[in-house]
A and B are shown apart, each in its own frame.
Chain A
Amino acid sequence: MIMQKKAPPEDLRIGVYVCHCGANIASKVNVESTRDFAQKLPGVAVARDYKFACSDPGQELIQNDIRELGINRVVVASCSPQLHEKTFRKACADAGLSPFYCQMANIREHVSWVTSDPVLATRKAKALVAAAVRRLAWAKALETKRVDVHPDVLVVGGGIAGIHAALLLANAGKKVFLVEREPTIGGHMAQFDKTFPTMDCAACILTPKMSDVKNHPNIHMWTYSEVEEVAGFTGNFKVTVRRKARYVKEKLCVGCNDCVEACVLKKDKVQVPDEFNVGLSRRKAVYMPFPQATPACVVIDPEQCLQLMKGKCAQTCVEACERAAIDFDQTDELIEIDVGAIIIATGYKVFDARRIPQYGYGRFTNVYTTLEIERLVNASGPTGGELILRDGTLPKVVGVVHCVGSRDRRFNPYCSNVCCMGALKMAHLIKERTGAEVFNFYVDMRTAFKGYEEFYDQILSEGVQFVRGRVAEVTDWAMTEEEKGKLIIRVEDTLVGVARRIPVDMVVLAVGLEPQADAPEIQRCFNISCSNEGFFLERHPKLGPVSTFTDGIFLAGACQGPKDIPETVAQAGAAAAEALSLVDRGFVEIEPNTAWIDEDVCSGCKTCIPLCPFKAIKRDEERGIAVINEALCKGCGTCVAACPSGAAQQNLFTDEQIYEEIEGVLSYA
């Protein structure tokens, strides 16, 4: 598009408000000099500086100028528009000015916080203010579009976060689709034996909620299902869900397990490791994930079932099932649903301890992870709740290693948040079940929430020994008679300042939390962002902790970062409240940054049509011009940049506005 030399409107009365943001801006940017600079810019009627422009008196200052001085355009030079554009737009609207006559200059995030030299910072601030003033001349009083919101909500992931969020929304009368990838809901929490710090039995507090989900009239619980595609926008998402074939009719199966008994894969060696017991037991081709699985419905593993793999089997399961629930002809089903809001609660995976070979996991049979111990101490676990070594004897000395894979630059630099408390819980459970002597090897003890420090005190008083130091190695290389046949933990005891060798029978690795392996695919499917370590990124760490950069999509639980159960449940509640506030409001206001076609200029060349990712542009064959469907346009502006004749324009980002901004930032070096 060519640069148009139209004259800006003449009746401009611009007010410029330079914010100190306490000392955040004022300590680097000379706000008085910036104000004086702005005062002299063409079209500026008044320029002021103020301590906190976003505060009530700050907003009133702007509103008074609109009312009393007839200010008809407002520039706020303060923080990022991502933070307070809405605030100042609303302030303008409340004073009777179009919210789109408000323009922000980002002199905090982009200037004062990133520039060390005050002179250069002030210079940069002035350039950004000049650009905002010039850009504003071309602002239009746009209308905000209102779009109805679909009242249903999709929750992705059926762990404790998804369960809690789904129940809250369903109880509020909303229809909820709960989509879970595994054959049962419950997530990691279902695998736990006890929960810190109160040592509630995990199943006792979780399974009633699972059953509530199953029985709730407002919840469509779709297990063994995955979200395939997401289209649409806030308030109006179109989601395609793949319901994988489980080869069992969910409505008929009652979970009697007769088919499991009957399955011909009887020998251990032809069975596969059981996912729920983290490989500590084996399962058949047809299986129930665990006794309290919800739905109480078996599933057939197509990669192990002889009938499905080879088409040849005695089909004893079919014979055994009195309700004729087994159906080898089932196929995947794709269902399209409409929802107004989406909550992502896809959880985490545990760190793979094999990545630290010196800890011997996978090499020494008596090195376990915390998740494995959870299963071993669980009454419905593979040993019926007995915590025994691989040879069947009770351990006499156990070492619990903290920070495995966490706070380590070689693996994950972040703290996994839950492992200290988890490792303390392990120490307690091991002592309680076996009477063994327990050593905990920690780097720093992090027990910072309600009742946690008290729990640590309790474990201390139970006689668990604490060694401060990162474990160097777990070895079976005995150097003394006493060490023979044991695993030796080598560690520098940093409180005493000596290298120690501590022989133990069992090692428990407190593995950290990591993003799900397919988090990048989930991220792309839902069009959200990831932080550096791969967890989903919240919109704002303080003010939008469960929101994402995509409106209408919220985060709950450990998919956003490592968290324990209380924090996960609290966040799930917050996500449910955000979703409820969106769908109950009934409408959304869409930022009017859509593209439009200047019909007098468009030559109908069709350049823009294939560029639009949303298929929003069609050619009106009669008139020979392009037409943009405003409802489909999401406002990226790709067509505008491509239009050779300048017919395509984008509201809020017209060519004039951007050229003015370019000239503005360059007008003051």
Chain B
Amino acid sequence: MPEDVSLPIAEEFEPRIVAFFCNWCTYTASDLAGTSRMTYAPNTRVIRVMCSGRIDPQFILAALRGGADGVLLGGCHPGDCHYQAGNYKCLRRYRLLKRLLAQMGIEEQRVRLEWIAASEGDRVQKVTNEMVEQIRKLGPLNLEHIPAPDVDVDAEEPLAAAAEGAVS
């Protein structure tokens, strides 16, 4: 049975989650969840990319900085990538980013990567609901104790260099 989400009470914290789904597997699975009328929590906002390999770690940081309480990434199962290995690249960046997040004082559980194939609409439902519950438990992302982001090129360079240094 589809899980229903009850009306939120105004004061209650509603997690805001940005999701990056790859076009071929997870976005299609998300469409399938729709055509199969699988109800799930309305807290995610899906942004389509062609491949999970396109997900720049800075997109995730930008989402968190911009007000998201969590970020969900979805790609094809290992070996099934439409572009051969973009999902592995995504995995490497994800692992590295999780370490950086911890160093920044952001709970690493706020970012989650899942492999969801085009036929797995039910997994979109399950993972989304789990993610929303997870973030609900963590509470709102409070960035106030973290120094204000500096969009200056030099300030961001080391991050990108660190992320990509390990990748290449």
Contact = CB atoms under 8 A, between A and B. Distances in A.
A113 B82 contact: no
Interface stretch (B98-106, B107-115, B154-162): B154-162
A640 B89 contact: no
A529 B161 contact: no
A562 interface: no
B149 to A, nearest CB: 10
Task: Say which size band chain A's interface belongs to.
Answer: 35 or more
Contacts of A324: none
Interface string A628-659: 00000011111011111000001001010011
Interface stretch (A138-146, A381-389, A660-668): A660-668
Given A2-B151, A532-B120, A637-B50, A124 B42 contact: yes
Given A1-B58, A666-B16, A113 B50 contact: no
Contacts of A111: 42
B91 interface: no
Contact of A114 (B18, B37, B117): B37
Interface string A367-378: 000000000000
B45 A666 contact: yes
Nearest to A524: B79
Interface residues of B, number: 65
Contacts of A550: 82
B31 A109 contact: yes
B11 to A, nearest CB: 14
Contact of A530 (B38, B63, B117): B117
B74 interface: no
B28 A82 contact: yes
A108 B46 CA distance: 13
A644 B160 CA distance: 6
A558 to B, nearest CB: 17
Contacts of A593: 50
Contacts, number: 180
Interface string B74-103: 000001101111100100010000000000
A650 B53 CA distance: 12
A613 B58 contact: no
A224 to B, nearest CB: 27
A637 B157 contact: no
Contacts of A106: 31, 46
A644 B164 contact: yes
A54 B101 CA distance: 44
Given A527-B82, A642-B168, A653-B49, A665 B40 contact: no
Given A109-B31, A124-B45, A127-B45, A636 B50 contact: yes
Nearest to A532: B119
Contacts of B93: 641
B143 interface: no
Contacts of B157: 644
Nearest to A119: B7
B147 interface: no
Contacts of A653: 49-50, 54
Given A110-B30, A121-B42, A662-B66, 5 more contacts: A131-B45, A549-B82, A637-B86, A642-B89, A644-B164
Interface of B: 2, 4-8, 14, 16, 18, 24-25, 27-28, 30-31, 33-35, 37-40, 42, 45-51, 53-59, 62-63, 66-68, 79-80, 82-86, 89, 93, 117-120, 125, 151, 153, 156-157, 160-161, 164, 167-168
Interface of A: 1-3, 5, 80-83, 106, 108-111, 113-117, 119-121, 123-124, 127-128, 131, 523-524, 527, 529-532, 537, 549-550, 593, 606-607, 610-611, 613-614, 634-638, 640-644, 650, 653, 655, 658-659, 661-663, 665-666, 669
